[in-house]
Amino acid sequence: MNGRPDGPGLRLLVVDDEEQILELLDLTLSLHGYDVQTVPSGPDALAHLHVQDVDVIVIDVLMAPWDGFQTVRHLCAALPLVPPVVFLSGLNRPDPLPDLGGDVRVEYLVKPFRPSELIAVIEHVWASRPPTD
């Protein structure tokens, strides 16, 4: 995550178990200049992050076999550093968020949302990450 520019060009990993949502998010975010990779499940996200660095994870909360929170817990347990995370959900944000088992920057966006809202949340979570020096 060192030395990455703000804004377009960020490497995003989008995780959702619904193929149509993955395609829509891939198209929307790619059109805004992001480098988008998609995977259909939490286990696939974990496997992807073992071989490919990303700057921000955009992940659905309600998925199978692991929900979004479980996926981030697995990432925190398996990786030395977890990128900032944007949770997407049709449900209101739980307050407080469940314990994710690590020190990870998190934002939560409730569906439906406009593309501009998603972009703003991605930019905010990226900008709020701690320095990597």
> What secondary structure does DSSP assign to 81-106, as a single string?
----EEEEESSPPPSSPPP-SS---E
Residue 1's pLDDT band (boundaries 50, 70, 90)? Answer: very low
Domain boundaries, the chain: 11-127
Pick the CATH number of 11-127 from 3.40.50.2300, 3.40.50.10860, 1.10.287.1060, 1.10.1060.10: 3.40.50.2300
Q: Comparing C-alpha atoms, which of 22, 77, 70 is closest to residue 50? A: 77
For the segment 106-110, the average pLDDT, to the nearest whole number, is 94
For the segment 20-45, the average pLDDT, to the nearest whole number, is 97
Each residue's pLDDT tens digit, 81-98: 999 999 999 888 888 888
For the segment 14-31, the average pLDDT, to the nearest whole number, is 96
Can you give the pTM of this predicted structure? 0.91
